[in-house]
Chain A
Amino acid sequence: EAAVTQSPRNKVAVTGGKVTLSCNQTNNHNNMYWYRQDTGHGLRLIHYSYGAGSTEKGDIPDGYKASRPSQENFSLILELATPSQTSVYFCASGDAAGGEGTGQLYFGEGSKLTVL
């Protein structure tokens, strides 16, 4: 069974502080993603990666950085957290949609971040 684990699951941060959300996958997938979920907006893509050492901007990258040091790990970094970044963050991994790939994404359990 594919597995994606996120840490921390809950985080309270202060405005201006640095926050790092970590994600680990044991699926050996090339692609990894960070989404945030807010009421009325669904899931919005922040950053994604198609392999170790690569990061790409998603639809709402402002205020976020990402790091993919290895195939298994993908981090989301908030250098200067703001209250508007209070949200639930989901990490996901997946393979390509074409060829032999299913295109299916496997999601982590989510990380609830509150910025005061």
Chain B
Amino acid sequence: AQKVTQTQTSISVMEKTTVTMDCVYETQDSSYFLFWYKQTASGEIVFLIRQDSYKKENATVGHYSLNFQKPKSSIGLIITATQIEDSAVYFCAMRDDMGYKLTFGTGTSLLVDP
């Protein structure tokens, strides 16, 4: 069975700094997909970025990037030049090779202070 673990429950950083959120996963599949989602204070959940397990290059979208360490089953989210509006809960998620079931971690709450 798949499992996704986020051990950081909350992080507080100053605006314009860089923050890294950790995520480790467990799977028996040789091919899988990893995602990060953001939940805003209003409850809206939006997709941020994705990493395919067979790709060696770390994915980057805007000021979000990933630190994919396959041997360690780790997929960290890096946010550079943080902004106040980055304050939210961030979820790591994994999707199996069949592409149907998406398993989420418990989330990390990020607070960006001015």
Contact = CB atoms under 8 A, between A and B. Distances in A.
A74 interface: no
Contact of B97 (A98, A109, A110): A98
B43 A88 contact: yes
Nearest to A43: B104
Given A97-B95, A103-B33, A103-B95, A50 B43 contact: no
Nearest to B2: A59
B103 A59 contact: yes
B103 A105 contact: no
A51 B100 CA distance: 11
Contact of A42 (B47, B97, B104): B104
A94 B50 CA distance: 14
Given A35-B104, A96-B100, 14 more contacts: A31-B99, A41-B106, A42-B6, A42-B105, A43-B93, A56-B100, A94-B102, A97-B95, A97-B99, A98-B97, A98-B99, A105-B35, A105-B102, A109-B44
Pairs A-B, 8 closest by C-beta atoms: A42-B106, A96-B99, A43-B104, A107-B45, A97-B99, A97-B33, A104-B47, A97-B95
Interface of A: 31, 33, 35, 40-45, 48, 50, 56, 58-59, 88, 90, 92, 94, 96-98, 101-107, 109-110
